[in-house]
Structure 1
Amino acid sequence: MRALIRFASIADRLSAASARLATAAVLLAVLISAGNATSRYALGLTSNAWLEVQWYLFAAIALLGAAETLKRGAHVRVDLLYVLAGERGRLAIDLFGLVVFLLPGMILLGWLSWPFFWESWIRNEFSNNPGGLYRWPVKALLPLGFALVALQGLAELAKRIAALAGAYRLDTTYNRLLQ
């Protein structure tokens, strides 16, 4: 059980690090967007590269922040079942969701996105827009993001196995969203 908990701790730290990159991308995207709008309307200057950087940063925000979202339990759940279940039932629901849905989905998406990135890398794909950017860096975010979520999914699986065995304390309280 110690090895599982240690693995989960390492994966948690990696997710937190990628989330810090996503957070920095939010700030950078806001600054670039404001600067681009200011230069376009105040000075009449614009650049496709700056627009594409914004798109790349939006992709980084979603793909690098997703693993931390999973770690924090802020992902989609079946509320009806989860709210009615006790602690062990919630752990079992999480195990089922991780094994049947999340992990196969992330592995499949990572597997399918790798050739998409690799082809772009090999061809040194460049944007068709004048002044555009290389495409492969943003395409690399796809398999990376899916791999990070899969790794965090394995960590969450390890935590729940350890919690069911009584070797790890996991907070399973659930607060329904108020709408």
Structure 2
Amino acid sequence: MSCPKQITVSGPLKLLQLWAFEHFPSLGPTIPNTLKPGEPRAARFHRLNAKINLQLVTSVLRLPDNFIWRPYIVDLKNWVHPSYYKQTQLITFDCNDRDEDLKSFGKCLYASMLVGLDCKEEYFPRRVAMQLGYDQDLPDAFPVWSIPLEKVRFAVLPRSFKPCVSVRYFNWWTKLISTRKTALLKEMYLM
């Protein structure tokens, strides 16, 4: 936000806005729409305007407590949770499975290439593990293999599971923050 360079962004920005409203509720409309039976979750924000300005966004993004890691596990009136959120289970991905929710979730967990009109981008779900309901580890802790999707096995954890960070991630983060503080103090001292 403080970068003097102009940044060009393309894509369905409505999806980014929906993601922001779910994960940072204080950015969204004060009172989202009540869902009608069978409506998708995104209908909560249909035709609603949020009063967003740079100062609000900056203040919301500065406080980690404003971020909701797993907003989709919260109960909403007239919205049914996906079928796979029952209990912990180990599942082998099956593209012939009739459970569309489970197939969709399995695809979200699979590292792949996202192909757009004029671009390709690698998708690494392990970088956002806590948003998917898993403990966060270092992003590159697990090598990426080219395993066919049909042979992938994954654990589905219940909604009640509270993801956290691994010890390895915690130690890395603590060291990173300490190094940054030291560098800032040195910079201030040299001024």
TM tier, smaller: under 0.3
* TM-score where L is the length of structure 2: 0.23
**Greater length-normalized contact order (CA 8 Å, ≥ 6 residues apart):** 1
Task: Answer 1 or 2: which has greater strand percent.
Answer: 2
